Amino acid sequence: MTTIPASHLDLLQSPVATFATIGPDGRPQLSEIWFLADGDSVAISLNTTRQKTKNLLERPACCLFILDLADPQRYLEIRGDAEVSADVDGVFVDRVGEKYGVNLRDYDQPGDERIVVRIAPSRINAVNMAG
């Protein structure tokens, strides 16, 4: 399955998701991130100085995991490869900032760059352990 079933579409409105990349030592690295729904998948804005960005440029394999914070037996897992593109004029980072009501560029240092990472899904799991 590479589409998100209707039963779990609401999770795309969650404020946060857990994002996994593979580090230089070959181990998974996880962190909590902001994201935007993007058609049948999700997209995130990353500062190019971050370790997770370096990981993705080395190995595009990644996974985004959205937990239902009110019912943590329910979640959506999107496995796939990162499709990286330039964030020309910061259009995308400003879209993410609009969702969260902040200017994400305020967190960047002078000279930092932003990229857009869209996940091309290879497999999507929609889980409800209580169901």
- Written as six digits, the tokens of 115 are 């990229």
- How far does Cα 111 stand from its chain's mean position? 23
Least separation in angstroms between CB 58 and its own copies: 12
Q: Binding to its own copies (CB under 8 A): which residues in 79-108?
A: 79-81
What is the chain's length?
131
Least separation in angstroms between CB 86 and its own copies: 24
Dist CA 28 CA 83 (whole Å)? 19
Task: Find tokens 């889980």 and name the residue.
Answer: 127
**27 belongs to the binding site for its own copies (CB under 8 A):** yes
- Written as six digits, the tokens of 77 are 């897992």
Least separation in angstroms between CB 72 and its own copies: 5
CB 20 within 8 A of CB 62: yes
Q: Mask 30-49, x = binds its own copies (CB under 8 A)? A: xxx-----------------
| Positions in the binding site for its own copies (CB under 8 A) | 15-16, 18, 20-23, 25-32, 59, 61-63, 65, 67, 69, 72-73, 75, 77, 79-81, 122, 127, 129
